[in-house]
Amino acid sequence: MSSDKIEAGTITLVSGKGDEIEAYHARPVDAESYGSVVVIHHMPGYDSSTKEIARRFAAHGYGAVVPNLFHRYAPGASAGDGAAAARAAGGVPDAQCIEDVSGAMTFLKAQPGANGKVGVIGYCSGGRQTYLVACNLDVDAAVVCYGGGVVATPDQLTPERPVAVIDMTKDLRCPMLGLFGVNDANPSPEHTARMEEELKAHGKTYRFHTYDDAGHAFFWVERPSYNAEASRQGWHEIWDFYGEHLEG
């Protein structure tokens, strides 16, 4: 019988630019060789729901790290206070997000048993950030879960987010899986169609699934937006996708 033992807890992560942030690490204890995933939290913050996702990856045999992208705005604060502080400051700059995910990838690759392959998955604003980092870092597989704001008009650009992520598509370095809800307004089916158009135009490898009766945040089990069927199918897609690109 194979071991299902996992270990999880808070760590200090060195960002790509050298400073330290809080993060949550979960890993399979007895696995001899395993792939890894950086889990990017949603706009409501570095919360228990996202840490639970990291443990779920570990239970399925992957190493996982959730970097607290809001750490610098409110060190040691609750998820809610951290999210509020980050929003009040204008939100996480894209460049900073890339450095934090870069640090998480370096950490995961250095763990005993890690096979060197690292995927990224993100939810909500983290879905957009997943698209962003997959175009800027050597990620092996990216899963975008209802990432809003990938398609952005010029008036939506800010000093923190100066470039529309969709315009980075030509630099995408890995296969992408996109999971969306048909009733979502951001990203809407029109937005995801626009993403597909761009991915096709640049010859990128991707799979998109848009679930009926689902809206935004259908994976979030503690909220009214949770959709059991979309979530069930979505997790199957994730296991297949990461099994294909991160194992071995």
Partner 1 sequence: MCTYLTSTEKVAGTGLGARGWFPIERAVVYFDHPQEAPVEHALCIDFRAGGDDPSQRVAVELDARSARTLAESILATLAHDEVVALGVN
Instruction: Provide the binding-site residues for partner 1, judged by CB under 8 A.
Output: 42-45, 73-74, 77-85, 87-88, 90-91, 124-125, 148-149, 156, 158, 161, 184-187, 215-217, 223-225
Lookup result for tokens 């991160």: 246
Q: Return the number of the residue (125 or 136) whose C-beta is nearest partner 1.
A: 125
- State the angle between helix axes of 125-134 and 94-109 in degrees (0 to 180), rounded to the nearest 10: 70
Smallest distance, Å, CB 238 to partner 1? 20
Under the phi-then-psi rule, with left for phi > 0, alpha for psi from -120 to 50, and beta for the rest, what region is 213? left
Q: CA–CA separation, 91 vs 93, rounded Å?
A: 6
Q: Return the number of the residue (88 or 221) whose C-beta is nearest partner 1.
A: 88
Residues 6+ apart with CB under 8 A from 77: 85
Q: CA–CA separation, 38 vs 45, rounded Å?
A: 15
Q: Return the number of the residue (186 or 233) whose C-beta is nearest partner 1.
A: 186
Smallest distance, Å, CB 37 to partner 1? 21
Q: Return the number of the residue (16 or 45) whose C-beta is nearest partner 1.
A: 45
Smallest distance, Å, CB 146 to partner 1? 8
Six-digit token string for 61: 């045999």
Smallest distance, Å, CB 210 to partner 1? 14
